[in-house]
Amino acid sequence: MRVLHVTQPTVAGVPVVVRDLVADQAACGWQVAVAAPPEGDLPGWLADLQVLHLPWQASREPGPTVPREVVRLRRLIGEFAPDLVHLHSAKAGLIGRVALRGGRPTVFQPHAWSFEAAEGPVARMARAWERFAARWTDLLVCVSDDERQRGEHAGVRARTIILPNGIDLGRYRVTGPADRSRARRELGLADRPTVVCVGRLARQKGQDVLLDCLPELRGRVPEVQTVLVGDGPDAADLRARAGEQVVFAGARSDVRPWLTAADVVALPSRWEAGLSLVAMEAMALGRPVVSADVAGARAALGGAGAVVDREDPRALALALAVRLEDPALAEREGRAGRRAVESSHDLAVTSRRVREAYRLVVPDGVQGDGVG
């Protein structure tokens, strides 16, 4: 089978999902390519995997560049001639479905709905587009039932499957206090109670809510240090409002050392499609997670931490403090998190289920032995 994946983001969570899927599909003997911008982490990962990268210049937001982006992608699709196109996130979903218009089997994976990232007229336009574009979507892939329900509530009607993201559990082992202290030394952090937040520095990820909770958190745990791992458009604003006890680590291609250094991992996002890759990685390492109440969080976290109301700094502070003050609780939740990812978020299972899902939209005559 010939599969073309399309993504505009080349850093953070979406390209990690793309990388893992194409690695699996290439290992099955499929002919796989990725259309994506030439910047960021993804091109290097594809080179390491010896997977074809088709440079596709595209901006993150819709705007005057859209017609050019459609023409470029249509040309790349014609040259590669895929049996199926898998579109990842909102921008690829927009450009790809306009370029294809149902001409080839099309899979769309939102990785969080575009209309949840906007307000007012922009959100209304995004909902209207998603409803319209469903006619050019042979298969919609949601990572949680919450994401599916939010799409249906917005009027998006397409053949849908739910496939939670997965991680390579072989890359993670449960780490304890000695590993935590060693990681802090190696990263240049003080060896004291530590909250780590990993994500693009942007409104979606809610780092501003975490900073707003710090005065109350320090009232309970005065020696706490907070680490923000990532980069993004809000970096300057967040740095301006953060105190000396907040460490900005910048963008990191491997966040395992930073999660290992944490006593608790904070995920104060305003919206997500489902349990984030960062949450899974933290759970796989045996770290408790405190998450905002975003799609899939309550169902997926279980006993691996706490879920608090979105944009509620006080609730976030209290939940973080409880785990910093009670290491035994944090350890129990960490063990529960590891069990949860082993049972529901194994990358090998997720990758196989994606290949099986392609069977729903690709004629039998072009399916390779890797399906199923």
**Digit-coded pLDDT (tens) for 212-248:** 999 999 999 999 999 999 999 999 999 999 977 799 9
d(CA 7, CA 91): 8
Given this model, what pLDDT does residue 7 score?
94
Average pLDDT estimate for 147-153: 88
**353 in the same domain as 318:** no
**174 in the same domain as 71:** no
In a domain, 371, yes or no: no
Residue 201, SS3 per DSSP: coil
Pick the residue with more confidence: 174 or 32?
32
Average pLDDT estimate for 181-199: 95
**161 in the same domain as 173:** no
Please tell me which of 27-41, 50-64, 104-118 the model is most confident about, judged by mean pLDDT.
27-41
In a domain, 175, yes or no: yes
Average pLDDT estimate for 192-207: 93
**350 in the same domain as 339:** no
Average pLDDT estimate for 19-32: 93
**308 in the same domain as 274:** yes
Cβ neighbours, 10 Å, residue 327: 12
**234 in the same domain as 220:** yes
Model confidence band, residue 371 (pLDDT cutoffs 50, 70, 90): very low
Pick the residue with more confidence: 323 or 176?
323
Q: What's the whole-model pTM score? A: 0.77
**158 in the same domain as 73:** yes
Range of the domain at 362: 2-166+346-366
- CATH number of domain containing 179: 3.40.50.2000
Given this model, what pLDDT does residue 277 score?
84
What whole-number percentage of the chain has pLDDT above 90?
62
Given this model, what pLDDT does residue 261 score?
96
Pick the residue with more confidence: 276 or 27?
27
Nearest to 231 by CA among 92, 39, 49, 69: 39
Given this model, what pLDDT does residue 67 score?
92
Model confidence band, residue 364 (pLDDT cutoffs 50, 70, 90): low
pLDDT at 369 over 80: no
Residue 69, SS3 per DSSP: helix
Given this model, what pLDDT does residue 368 score?
47
Given this model, what pLDDT does residue 23 score?
93
| pLDDT per position as a tens digit, 58-117 | 888 777 888 999 999 999 999 999 999 999 988 899 999 999 998 999 999 998 887 877
Average pLDDT in the chain: 90
**193 in the same domain as 338:** yes
Average pLDDT estimate for 9-30: 90
DSSP symbol at 32: E
**Got the DSSP string for 214-279?**
HHHHHHH-TT-EEEEE---TTHHHHHHH--TTEEEEE--S--HHHHHT-SEEEE--S--SSS-HHH
Assess contact for 134 and 107: CB atoms under 8 A.
no
pLDDT at 271 over 50: yes
Q: How many domains does the chain have?
A: 2
What whole-number percentage of the chain has pLDDT above 70?
97
Question: CB-based contacts of 226: which residues, under 8 Å, 6+ apart?
Answer: 194, 195, 196, 197, 210, 211, 214, 245, 246, 247
**176 in the same domain as 160:** no
- Of 16-20, 37-41, 299-303, the poorest mean pLDDT is in 299-303
pLDDT at 33 over 70: yes
**117 in the same domain as 218:** no
Beta strands across the sheet bearing 289-292: 246-250, 225-229, 194-198, 264-267, 289-292, 305-308
- What angle, rounded to 10 degrees, do the helices at 313-325 and 207-220 form? 50
**338 in the same domain as 360:** no
| pLDDT per position as a tens digit, 153-183 | 889 999 999 988 888 888 888 888 999 999 9
pLDDT at 119 over 90: no
